[in-house]
């Protein structure tokens, strides 16, 4: 299925077979410890389901200094 994804100031379409937020993060090789994720502009837990055309925004939250 197709979803829209925003990560590191870049938004793009993505073809995925993952069914949850955690699955998407794994696919993108992003450690869930360092991000917060919102789906269709609502912050959600990592085990939330993803469906066709969802807008998934990944915000990096660990700081560097």
Least Å from the CB of residue 62 to another protein: 6
Structural Rg of the chain based on CA atoms? 11
Q: Are 54 and 23 in contact (CB under 8 A)?
A: no
Chain residues in the site for another protein (CB under 8 A): 31-36, 42-49, 59-65
d(Cα 49, Cα 29) in Å, to the nearest integer? 18
Residue 42 pairs in a beta bridge with: 39
Least Å from the CB of residue 45 to another protein: 4
User: How many CB atoms neighbour CB 49 within 10 A?
Assistant: 12
- Of residues 17 and 62, the one with the C-beta less far from another protein: 62
- Of residues 4 and 60, the one with the C-beta less far from another protein: 60
- Of residues 17 and 41, the one with the C-beta less far from another protein: 41
């Amino acid at each position: 299925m197709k979803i829209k994804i925003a990560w590191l100031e870049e938004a793009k379409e993505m073809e995925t077979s993952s069914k949850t937020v955690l699955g998407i993060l794994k696919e993108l090789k992003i450690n869930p410890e360092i991000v917060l994720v919102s789906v269709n502009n609502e912050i959600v837990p990592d085990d939330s389901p993803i469906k066709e055309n969802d807008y998934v925004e990944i915000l990096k939250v660990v700081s560097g200094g």
